[in-house]
Amino acid sequence: MAERQGQAAPDAVLTRIGQVVMLHHAGDREEARHRLLALWAEIGEHGDPLHRCTLAHYLADTQDDPADELAWDLRALAAAEEAGQEALAVLAFYPSLHVNLADDYVGLGRFDAARTHLRWAREAAAVLADDRYGEGVRAAIERLRARLGESGGGTWTPPRQRP
């Protein structure tokens, strides 16, 4: 029972990340980037994979340079892959991670890479619930699909099962 209670307890790091994300959404991108980078320094390159994935995912959104945004999104994906498929929270992140990477690659003119990640995002979206988050991610996928003129297709498999 104590173990269950520990699992149900709020995660202080994720709460702190969420607070900074709210700051970013309120329009203070520079301060959000500063605070997220401070959290990254605190957590470190070898911290909990879910924390690193979440933090890098949101840090990417605060970047001004498209190459920096790509670097943070790649860190988020690497941390998600490190966390593994057993982390349900990470599985729900994959569609967003891949659509963000696809968008990064479009911004850098790397359209083949963009199409690959868009295809994986569309397939990974099957795990999303029909809630606000799921609808938002699916809408982002469809907007990018339309920009790229993609019709879809392909099969996404979790990273540890890829050939």
pLDDT tens, 94-120? 999 999 999 999 999 999 999 999 999
Separation CA 134–CA 156 (nearest Å): 17
CA atoms of 118 and 111, how far apart (whole Å): 10
d(CA 86, CA 134): 20
What is the per-residue DSSP string for the chain? -HHHHHHHS--HHHHHHHHHHHHHHTT-HHHHHHHHHHHHHHH-TTS-HHHHHHHHHHHHHT-SSHHHHHHHHHHHHHHHHHH-TT-HHHHHHHHHHHHHHHHHHHHTT-HHHHHHHHHHHHHHGGG--SSHHHHHHHHHHHHHHHHHT---------GGG--
- pLDDT for 92 beyond 90: no
pLDDT the model gives residue 158? 45
Residue 86 binned pLDDT confidence (cut-offs 50, 70, 90): low
Q: Is the pTM of the predicted complex or chain greater than 0.75? A: yes
